């Protein structure tokens, strides 16, 4: 699918930051299955209140789309419902073949592609409803085309907008009821693990940092690990056995059997509604005894992504101590490991989830952290 991507940024934004944002947006398009054919950045301090990017830039994108046969116009920001609605109306009026999405639309489409478990599918459906809900205002004509007027309504005076609102409200209630059942089941599983004395480790990190590859290496499982954003959406749980280390022990201690959980990766500007939708699957990480923060050590934007993960963990109230695993040290170029004096960070190891380098050091840190 040929795609044009456009982003706006304040005039003071540095070129390097813009390049990073556009590269990530293009990566999202690629993950969805599209091909980016045009990248545009507009410098403006205040978004256009009607179309976000402004009428001039929008006309330019429509002309390029017509010339190049584009099917998608992705605006790499979180837009107001009225703005994305107006952009799509303008595209229809100008008989453009393109459809406009904002950043959240694109992420939701990727989520929908990658969802496997019934729970993750429900969570994505709920997030989509919450994202679409505000857009139904001012869509009377469009809803009339989709719903065929108000004759199907419950009561003579019910408008098409009210029909849609009622439908979405009923769908939301049904989904939430089903998710509660999954949440209770997950809670019972956690209680059983605690009764059996299993320590738990939640694997967290920026999307595509190599979390699932490291999870597979540590647990000998075969979770799908792809070089794509959001390859993992549900929660995967596996066992890790740590043999007793005799090097620093004066008396015999049995080995440790731990449970690791791998779940959705984080990303910049992830809206609260999307985090809330995946709250139940994130609970395994929130309530873990230890968090393993996997970091792509080859990423030139590593420091910012560490900060984004830390901010997201704070937003979901994940307070467990953390060990950092700087992954992909087998890459041609790796970044310098930053120093940290945070009491929540118990140490770090430089590893390769592909070659196994540094894994024993990482296991030693985990053993020490959990035994105190």
**pLDDT tens across 313-346, in order?**
888 888 899 999 999 999 988 999 998 888 899 9
Does residue 122 share a domain with residue 247?
Answer: no
Residues 295 and 331 in one domain: yes
Mean pLDDT of 277-303: 84
pLDDT of the residue at 73: 96
Same domain, 207 and 243: yes
pTM of the model: 0.78
Average pLDDT value over all residues in the chain: 82
Residue 105 to residue 107: CA distance in whole angstroms: 6
Cα(113)–Cα(156) distance, rounded to whole angstroms?
Answer: 39
CB 235 within 8 A of CB 263: yes
Question: What is the pLDDT, as a whole number, of residue 156?
Answer: 45
CA gap 46, 56 in Å, rounded: 15
- Distance separating alpha carbons of residues 190 and 187, to the nearest angstrom: 5
Cα 193 to Cα 93: distance, rounded to the nearest angstrom:
58
**Per-residue confidence (pLDDT) for residue 232, from 0 to 100:** 54
**Between these two residues, 369 and 156, which has the higher pLDDT value?**
369
In the chain, how many domains are there? 3
What is the tens place of the pLDDT at every residue in 55-106? Answer: 999 999 999 999 999 999 999 988 888 899 899 999 999 999 999 999 889 9
Confidence at residue 145, expressed as pLDDT on a 0 to 100 scale: 46
25: its two tokens? 């947006």
Closest by alpha carbon to 200, among 253, 232, 239?
A: 239
| Across 139-163, average pLDDT | 52
Most confident of 31-40, 134-143, 219-228: 31-40
- DSSP lists the bridge partners of residue 266 as 206
Residues 255 and 350 in one domain: yes
Domain boundary among 110, 138, 159: 110
Q: How far apart are CA 345 and CA 243, in angstroms?
A: 23
State the Cα–Cα distance between residues 53 and 51, nearest whole angstrom: 6
User: Can you tell me the distance from the alpha carbon of 30 to that of 196, in angstroms, rounded to the nearest whole number?
Assistant: 44
Tell which of 110, 139, 162 closes a domain: 110
**Does residue 50 sit in helix, strand or coil?**
coil
Q: Clarify whether residues 224 and 363 are in a common domain.
A: yes
Residue 140 has pLDDT above 70, yes or no: no
pLDDT at position 142 over 60: no
- What pLDDT shows up at residue 227? 54
Residue 131, domain extent: 116-176
Euclidean distance between CA atoms 142 and 160, whole angstroms: 9
Contact 169, 119 (CB under 8 A): no
Percent of the chain with pLDDT over 90: 35
Are residues 133 and 261 both part of a single domain? no
Q: Is 332 inside a domain boundary? A: yes
| pLDDT attached to residue 93 | 94
Is the pLDDT reported for residue 231 higher than 80?
no
Task: With a cut of 50, say whether residue 141 has pLDDT above it.
Answer: no
**Residue 223 scores a pLDDT above 70:** no
- In terms of domains, do 215 and 322 share one? yes
Instruction: Please report the pLDDT score of residue 150 as a whole number.
Output: 47
- 296: in domain: yes
For residues 105 and 109, what is the distance between their CA atoms, to the nearest angstrom?
6
Same domain, 120 and 268: no
Measured N-to-C along each axis, helices 160-195 and 140-147 cross at an angle, to the nearest 10 degrees, of 80
Q: Where are the alpha helices (DSSP H) in 148-270?
A: 160-195, 211-219
Neighbours of 87 (CB within 10 A): 25
pLDDT of residue 229: 53
Same domain, 159 and 306: no
């Amino acid at each position: 699918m040929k795609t044009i991507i456009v982003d706006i940024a304040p005039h003071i934004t540095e070129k390097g930051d813009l390049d990073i944002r556009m590269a990530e947006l293009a990566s999202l398009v690629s993950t969805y299955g599209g091909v980016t054919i045009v990248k545009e950045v507009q410098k403006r301090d205040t978004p256009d209140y009607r179309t976000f990017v402004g009428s001039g830039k929008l006309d330019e994108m429509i002309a390029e789309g017509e010339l190049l046969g584009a099917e998608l116009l992705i605006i790499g920001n979180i837009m107001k419902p009225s703005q994305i609605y107006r952009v799509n109306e303008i595209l229809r009026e100008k008989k453009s073949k393109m459809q406009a999405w904002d950043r959240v639309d694109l992420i939701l489409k990727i989520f929908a592609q990658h969802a496997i478990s019934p729970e993750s599918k429900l969570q994505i459906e709920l997030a989509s409803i919450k994202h679409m809900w505000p857009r139904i205002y001012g869509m009377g004509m469009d809803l009339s085309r989709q719903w065929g007027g108000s004759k199907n309504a419950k009561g003579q005076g019910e408008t098409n907008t009210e029909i849609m609102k009622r439908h979405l409200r009923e769908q939301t209630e049904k989904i939430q009821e089903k998710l509660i059942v999954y949440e209770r089941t997950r809670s019972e599983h956690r209680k059983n693990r605690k009764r059996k004395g299993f320590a738990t480790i939640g694997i967290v990190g920026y999307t595509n940092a190599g979390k699932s590859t490291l999870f597979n290496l540590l647990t000998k499982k075969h979770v799908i690990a792809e070089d794509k954003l959001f390859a993992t959406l549900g929660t995967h749980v596996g066992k890790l056995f740590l043999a007793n280390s005799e090097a620093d022990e004066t008396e015999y201690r049995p080995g440790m059997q731990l449970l690791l959980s791998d779940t959705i990766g984080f990303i910049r500007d992830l809206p609260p509604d999307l985090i809330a939708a995946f709250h139940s699957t994130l609970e395994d990480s929130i309530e873990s005894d230890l968090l393993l923060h996997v970091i792509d050590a080859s990423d030139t934007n590593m420091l910012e992504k560490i900060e984004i993960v830390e901010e997201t963990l704070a937003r979901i109230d994940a307070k467990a101590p953390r060990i950092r695993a700087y992954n992909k040290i087998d890459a041609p170029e790796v970044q310098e490991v930053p120093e940290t004096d945070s009491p929540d960070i118990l140490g770090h190891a430089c590893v390769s989830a592909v070659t196994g380098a540094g894994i024993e050091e990482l296991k030693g840190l985990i053993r020490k952290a959990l035994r105190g």
